[in-house]
Amino acid sequence: MRKISFTLLLWCPGLLYAQQPVRYVKPIIGTEKMGHTYPGATVPFGMVQLSPDTDTIPYELDGKYNPDVYKYCAGYQYTDRTITGFSHTHFSGTGHSDLGDFLIMPTTGPLQLNPGTADHPENGYRSRFSHANETAEAGYYKVKLDDHDILAELTATNRVGFHQYTFPSSGDAHIILDLMAGIYNYANKNVWTFVRVENDTLITGYRQTNGWARTRTLYFAMTFSKPIKKYGHRNYANDVYKGFWRKFNQSENFPEMAGRQIRAWFDFDTKAGEKVKVKFALSPVSTDGARRNLEAEIPGWDFEAVKQQSQNAWNKELSKVAVKTIKPDDLVNFYTALYHTYLGPTTYMDADGGYRGIDQLNHTANGYTNYSTFSLWDTYRALHPLFNILQPQRNADMVRSMLEHYNQSVHKMLPVWSHQGNENWCMIGYHSVSVIADAIMKGNIKGYDAMQALEACANTARYKPYDGLEWYMQMGYVPEDKNGSSVSKTLEYAYDDWCIAQVAQKLGRQDLYKEFIQRSLNYRNVFDASTGFMRPRLSNGEFRKEFDVLSTHGQGYIEGNAWNYSLYVPQYPAEMISLMGGRKQFTTHLDSLFTMHLPDAFFAETEDITRDGIIGNYVHGNEPAHHAAYLYNWTDAPWKTQERIRMILGKMYKPAPDGLGGNDDCGQMSAWYLFSTLGFYPVCPGSTEYALGSPAIQSATIQLENGKTFEVETVNQGEQNVYVKKAVLNGKTLQRPFIHHEDIMNGGKITFYMDRRPTK
């Protein structure tokens, strides 16, 4: 971990109160190592993520997966010394990737259309840069491109990226549009690209890719603040049919370009200090949609005004939680985490509501905002529950978006991991049902029909071709010999089924309740009493003999070993504890998880976990055990929850580029931070209950959308004082370490009385 200085931080000694919380957001956090965040400019839930990419690593080398590509899930690695350009779409914190669409790079000097290498940036269009000349804020990014003597500034609205490039005096100034560049750039990922030079300031086009999203097209409209002097492109694809287009000189000033591998350039003369600005709008539907988005969102050329507008939008959303802390770093951690949770799901529709569905047809979102980028295996845990408190309207629209996905799905399945008109099927489970159940059980039913949502959940959970589901439905578990990661799948299906049952019960559908409450007990079918762990079982009914409780690979798990995954029965923690030998034995078991020593081999074989992301054998860098530290609340030692939570908060979240202990996973890691910092956590989304932990703030005031206010207050909180002596809700001392959703949404106050010694 490397500390960086935050020159913009202003605070008075003692308590800090965030009046302009945007000042505490440090998008650079998580951009080193495994965080996979991006430092560029975007607005809350914005469609455009305009951000620097520091390398263009191919997905494969010699036909095989290139492990280096993994570092560039979000396009940027803090330790890199060159920037290849600024592209308009980025995931935040994912562990697989895509996007990086429409890379723009301003250069001076002789035109170079290849990106060059990190070692020899002078051989290409990329540029050296230094963090000393770099500023990353919410909604604004600035960097000096040393090789070209250009100051690059970026800001954005929802659908438009706004570039401002301050050039030196040059008769040879270029703006490159590299349509070959992309993130996770599989060799044939570009299916087709198309560019039209509509006039001397307006360019339109699209990029169609076959990557994580199998059939994705994104359209653009780009406009320059001054007329192009000349322009051209090179087509690097030998496999494009040239036909009678040969009769033209297409390489210069020819207004229509198409092919699989294209790089275009636009030339200008610039005076010293001249600002050339670029507005770059996206659309999921058409180049016309992009043009309309451009006109609707940024009609003028005032970069400062758009930057201010973007940061105002951030202030508005971030201010909904007013936090007081002792240390400024805590404010930075808090508001950066809140920032990271508001990066997605992203808006996925034009200003007029048009978007492309997974049926490859164009649709119009009427009366709601359509969202995409649903990393549901991650985000059902804490992110969507957080939204049910802080962003209920948006979360209801996200549910609506998932239901529209379902309507368009030929499989009749809710999204598993979806982005931009595609289902990419990543990870396991059908956790849309958890998100939907959590919203319905918490009364957040707006703009969608709960009964239809229940039907969608039930049909999703019955889609037999999906990932061992037919076996699960037949046998009560996924047999490892039929379908890998079988324990993880069985446990998660059972939890999801419990969610469906809750909704069925609430809506009076006893038939569905019975069906799915029965299925929710299936976790029992993979419990091996002989070892005390959940264990892969075969189709003959026997447990598989080979069983390594530390390893993840090929052991029946995914992103977690038996130690972590065996705890995954969030719907029935008490029953699980009883199965595992009772409260006392379970407490010891949990203690071991957090304290045992792991061999080095463990880290060598695990993809996105380093020692940074692990405490003992507890893996915080991946999600399956995110609820684990709260399980002490179901034992006789809730004080251990309080202790562990504070330890995790301290170890896993630091205000530095490498400050995140694992992929932020579209905000799930940050949502964990926010809940835990505020002192409560949704161990089982789909229930209305939150387990209490140990708040790490002085106070927090949450402005709810319903006009009410919920306040978290601590007394005697401090770095040593991590134990809760008592918690008082609206004047009443709590007898159990739990609160309910209505306690929050009805408004009021919870006060935690803290102590340096546990209350045993």
Alpha carbon distance 609, 552 (integer Å)? 12
Window contacting a copy of itself (CB under 8 A); options: 116-124, 210-218, 527-535, 540-548: 210-218
Write each residue from 137 to 156 as x if it is in contact with a copy of itself (CB under 8 A), else as -, in one continuous string. --------------------
Binds a copy of itself (CB under 8 A): choice among 14, 119, 300, 361: 361
Minimum Å gap between C-beta 237 and a copy of itself is: 9
User: Looking at 13, 243, 508, 707, which residue binds a copy of itself (CB under 8 A)?
Assistant: 243
Cβ burial, residue 361 (10 Å; 0-12/13-18/19+): exposed
Choose the stretch contacting a copy of itself; rule: CB under 8 A; options: 132-140, 435-443, 461-469, 526-534: 461-469
> Edge-to-edge strands of the sheet including 680-681?
680-681, 689-692, 738-740
Instruction: Tell me: does residue 194 bind a copy of itself (CB under 8 A).
Output: yes
Q: In the complex, what is the shortest distance from the CB of residue 376 to a copy of itself, in angstroms, rounded to a whole number?
A: 13
Q: Single out the residue of 359, 542, 548, 742 in contact with a copy of itself (rule: CB under 8 A).
A: 359
425 binds a copy of itself, rule: CB under 8 A: yes
Closest CA to 297 of 155, 447, 92: 155
The residue among 219 and 527 lying less far from a copy of itself, judged by its C-beta, is 219
Stretch that binds a copy of itself, among 112-120, 420-428, 514-522, 674-682 (CB under 8 A): 420-428
Choose one: 239-247, 622-630, 708-716, 747-755; the region binding a copy of itself (CB under 8 A). Answer: 239-247
Nearest CA to 217 out of 227, 207, 225 is that of: 207
Q: Does 287 bind a copy of itself (CB under 8 A)?
A: yes
Does the protein bind a copy of itself through residue 12 (CB under 8 A)? no
- Please tell me whether residue 9 adopts helix, strand or coil conformation: coil
Helix 432-441, helix 383-390: angle, nearest 10: 30
Could you tell me if 556 and 544 are in contact, meaning their C-beta atoms sit under 8 angstroms apart?
Answer: yes
Residue 267 dihedral angles phi and psi, to the nearest 5°: -105, 150
Specify whether the CB–CB gap between 230 and 267 falls below 8 A.
yes
- Indicate whether 159 belongs to the interface with a copy of itself (CB under 8 A): no
Q: Is 393 in the site for a copy of itself (CB under 8 A)?
A: no
- Find the part of the chain contacting a copy of itself (CB under 8 A) among 333-341, 355-363, 571-579, 693-701: 355-363
In terms of CB distance, is 481 or 591 closer to a copy of itself?
A: 481
Q: Binding residue for a copy of itself (CB under 8 A) from 227, 255, 581, 582?
A: 255
Per-residue tokens: 141 = 């990014």
- 10 Å Cβ neighbour count for 188? 13
CB 259 within 8 A of CB 180: no
Q: Does 299 bind a copy of itself (CB under 8 A)?
A: no
By CB under 8 A, name the one of 11, 254, 301, 594 that touches a copy of itself: 254
d(CA 436, CA 685): 10
> Cβ closer to a copy of itself: 211 or 686?
211
**Which range touches a copy of itself (CB under 8 A), out of 266-274, 424-432, 621-629, 739-747?**
424-432
Query: Do β-strands 748-755 and 709-715 pair in parallel, antiparallel, or remain unpaired?
Result: parallel
The residue within the footprint of a copy of itself, chosen from 62, 119, 239, 511 (CB under 8 A), is 239
Question: Which stretch in 246-254, 312-320, 584-592, 612-620 sits in contact with a copy of itself by CB under 8 A?
Answer: 246-254
Instruction: Give the residue, chosen from 186, 236, 547, 594, that forms a contact with a copy of itself under the rule CB under 8 A.
Output: 186
DSSP state of 525: G
Contacts of 134 (CB under 8 A, 6+ apart): 39, 141, 142, 143, 144
Measured CA distances, 710 to 384, 402, 441 (Å): 18, 29, 20
Q: Under the criterion CB under 8 A, does residue 473 sit at the interface with a copy of itself? A: no
Q: Which residues contact 551 (CB under 8 A, 6 or more apart)?
A: 561, 602, 605
CA angle 609, 611, 615 (to 5 degrees): 100
Q: Which listed residue (465, 508, 707, 731) binds a copy of itself by CB under 8 A?
A: 465
- Choose between 243 and 731: whose C-beta lies nearer to a copy of itself: 243
- Inter-CA distances, 445 with 425, 681, 682, Å: 27, 22, 19
Is residue 466 near a copy of itself by the rule CB under 8 A?
A: yes
Q: How many CB atoms lie within 10 A of CB 731?
A: 8
Task: Specify the DSSP class assigned to residue 122.
Answer: G
Answer whether the bond into residue 345 is a cis peptide, omega within 30°.
yes
User: How many residues sit close enough to a copy of itself to count as binding (CB under 8 A)?
Assistant: 48
Footprint of a copy of itself on 492-531 (CB under 8 A) = none
Residue 411 as a binder of a copy of itself (CB under 8 A): the answer is yes
The answer to whether 214 and 422 are in contact (CB under 8 A) is yes
Among 24, 70, 212, 586, binds a copy of itself (CB under 8 A): 212
Least separation in angstroms between CB 59 and a copy of itself? 8
Q: How many residues does the chain have?
A: 760
**How many helices and strands (H and E) does the chain possess?**
18, 39
Of 559, 539, 535, the closest CA to residue 429 belongs to: 559
Residue 198 interacting with a copy of itself (CB under 8 A)? yes
Owner of token pair 């990029």: 207
**C-alpha dihedral over 534, 536, 537, 538, to 10 degrees?**
180
Contact status: 258 vs a copy of itself (CB under 8 A): yes
Pick one of 108, 336, 424, 668: the residue that binds a copy of itself (CB under 8 A). Answer: 424
Smallest distance from the beta carbon of 287 to a copy of itself, in angstroms? 7
Which 8-state DSSP code applies to residue 419? Answer: -
The phi and psi torsions of 691 (rounded to 5 degrees) equal -85, 140
C-beta closer to a copy of itself: residue 214 or 740:
214
- Which position among 314, 342, 348, 417 is part of the footprint of a copy of itself (CB under 8 A)? 417
Q: Confirm or reject binding of residue 188 to a copy of itself (CB under 8 A).
A: yes
Q: Please, which residue, 362 or 393, has the CB nearer to a copy of itself?
A: 362
**Closer Cβ to a copy of itself, 13 or 465, answer by number:** 465
- Whose CA is closest to 43, among 27, 30, 54, 31? 27
Smallest separation, CB 409 to a copy of itself (Å): 9
Query: Any contact of residue 210 with a copy of itself (CB under 8 A)?
Result: yes
- Interface residue list for a copy of itself (CB under 8 A): 186-189, 191-192, 194, 196-198, 206, 208, 210-212, 214-215, 239-241, 243-245, 247-249, 253-256, 258, 286-288, 359-362, 410-411, 417, 424-427, 465-467
